[in-house]
Amino acid sequence: MGLKKFPGFIDVHVHLREPGATQKEDFLTGSKAAITGGFTFIIDMPNNPIPTFSLEALEEKIKLSKRAICDIGFHFGTNGKNLNSFNDAYLHPRIFGLKVYLNHTTGDFLIDDRQVLEQIFVSWESEKPILVHAEGKKIEECITLAKKYNRKLHVCHISQKEEVKMIRKAKKEKLKVTAGVTPHHLFLIDSDVKKLGPFAMMKLPLGTKKNQDALWQGILDGTIDLVESDHAPHTRQEKLANKPAFGVPGLETTLGLLFKAVHDKKITEKDIIRLLFDNPKRIFNIPEQKNTYIEFDPEKSYQIGENGYQTRSGWSPFDKWQVYGKVENVILHGKKIMNRGKIL
């Protein structure tokens, strides 16, 4: 078929680890992984050792991120004690949303007090979405608050059939609720943990086949708005430790897996553009990237990891999977930054 032109894709959920955990990733290695995977705009999460809970922490990240080779935005974070910095945060042009953790994750960020959660929804007086890391009933709680305060709510990485139903219902009620799904929840299930061990452990955990089927259904009927990689690199050593770190890298593998799904006739190329470009751009109000596009042959097969990995973590749960559509050329703001698969 030959090379075909696509928009530079958008990943609204990545953990680039700088500052504080650059043994896993930094802005340079993470952005190289992004470009390799066809993403020209990514949004970094706030759960660093010094979390993005203040404008100072944000400015520090912005400074460090100048080394990145793609465009980067940031989500602000909260422990419920930084509500008075929300105003400056949501007016900041580099901030795209507020991330709230209602279930356990890497770091200590849990909001488990209902009143604190409500105050967060009250104080984030912005059109920029509140993103929640939440499971089951906690999602319902957030939907109720989004309705009460007329906030935009983005439910990250949904993983269960019941959660797809909740989002579907909220959309029927015309609430400002959107949802994302990760490639690992789409392509792996709980039984894969037997084979992959800690390398298939993440939050939220992998679900059953029944749950996975519901996620694909949610993609097809528009309940699920976007695919977010939740790129969460950890070193092999950290994964093999007694208490393994949760999360898997995803920036380099998301596009190939989704084109495999096209090849397997589960979705269409149009769906991919909706999931990785149109919807993330609209929901998070991503600025236009002029003269930016990527090129690849969507029918050309390749093996994940065949040329190694750009992420510093250096592994993938999808290693050796046969997928489609390896990015060849990337043009960002009129400048060629990848040529025939090589970052320039």
Q: Which residues pair with 131 in a beta bridge?
A: 99, 154
| Cβ–Cβ under 8 Å, residues 26 and 309 | no
Partner from ligand DOR, Zn ion, none contacting 202, C-beta within 5 to 8 A by type: ligand DOR
Q: Which of residues 229-288 bind Zn ion (CB under 5 A)?
A: 230
Cα–Cα distance between 50 and 143 in angstroms, integer? 29
By CB under 6 A, tell whether 47 contacts ligand DOR: yes
CA 230 to chain centre: 4
By CB under 5 A, tell whether 71 contacts Zn ion: no
User: Contacting ligand DOR (CB under 6 A), which of 15, 260, 312, 326?
Assistant: 15
Partner from Zn ion, ligand DOR, none contacting 17, C-beta within 5 to 8 A by type: none
By CB under 5 A, tell whether 135 contacts Zn ion: no
Helix (H), strand (E) counts: the chain: 13, 15
Give the CA distances from residue 277 to residues 18, 56, 209, 225, 316, in Å, rounded to whole numbers and listed in that order. Answer: 25, 30, 27, 10, 23
Cα–Cα distance between 184 and 5 in angstroms, integer? 26
Q: Which of residues 324-343 bind Zn ion (CB under 5 A)?
A: none
User: CB 105 → Zn ion: shortest distance, Å?
Assistant: 7
User: Contacting ligand DOR (CB under 6 A), which of 48, 52, 106, 253?
Assistant: 106
User: Contacting ligand DOR (CB under 6 A), which of 138, 161, 171, 203?
Assistant: 203
Q: Which of residues 201-230 bind Zn ion (CB under 5 A)?
A: 230
Which lies closer to ligand DOR via its Cβ, residue 15 or residue 152?
15
Which residues are CB-contacts of 119 (< 8 A; sequence separation ≥ 6)? 80, 83
User: CB 277 → Zn ion: shortest distance, Å?
Assistant: 20
Cα–Cα distance between 52 and 220 in angstroms, integer? 35
Task: Give φ, ψ of 130 to 5 degrees.
Answer: -95, 120
By CB under 6 A, tell whether 105 contacts ligand DOR: yes
Task: Give φ, ψ of 181 to 5 degrees.
Answer: -135, 150
User: CB 100 → Zn ion: shortest distance, Å?
Assistant: 12
Q: Which of residues 111-170 bind ligand DOR (CB under 6 A)?
A: 133
Partner from Zn ion, ligand DOR, none contacting 246, C-beta within 5 to 8 A by type: ligand DOR
By CB under 5 A, tell whether 18 contacts Zn ion: no
User: CB 203 → Zn ion: shortest distance, Å?
Assistant: 8
Cα–Cα distance between 313 and 249 in angstroms, integer? 8
Which lies closer to ligand DOR via its Cβ, residue 16 or residue 304?
16
Which lies closer to ligand DOR via its Cβ, residue 58 or residue 331?
58
Which residues are CB-contacts of 14 (< 8 A; sequence separation ≥ 6)? 30, 34, 42, 43, 44, 45, 229, 230, 231, 251
Binding mask 242-261 for ligand DOR (x = CB under 6 A): ----xx--------------
Which lies closer to Zn ion via its Cβ, residue 43 or residue 331?
43
Which lies closer to Zn ion via its Cβ, residue 230 or residue 328?
230
Partner from ligand DOR, Zn ion, none contacting 65, C-beta within 5 to 8 A by type: none
Q: Which residue is nearest to Zn ion (CB)?
A: 230
The two tokens of residue 15 are: 């953990």
Q: Which residue is nearest to ligand DOR (CB)?
A: 247
What is the separation, in whole angstroms, between the first and last Cα of the chain? 25
User: CB 24 → Zn ion: shortest distance, Å?
Assistant: 13
| Cβ–Cβ under 8 Å, residues 238 and 247 | no
Partner from Zn ion, ligand DOR, none contacting 168, C-beta within 5 to 8 A by type: none
Cα–Cα distance between 145 and 283 in angstroms, integer? 19
What's the maximum distance between 2 C-alpha atoms anywhere in the chain?
A: 56
- Binding residues (CB under 6 A) for ligand DOR: these are 15, 47, 105-106, 133, 202-203, 232, 246-247
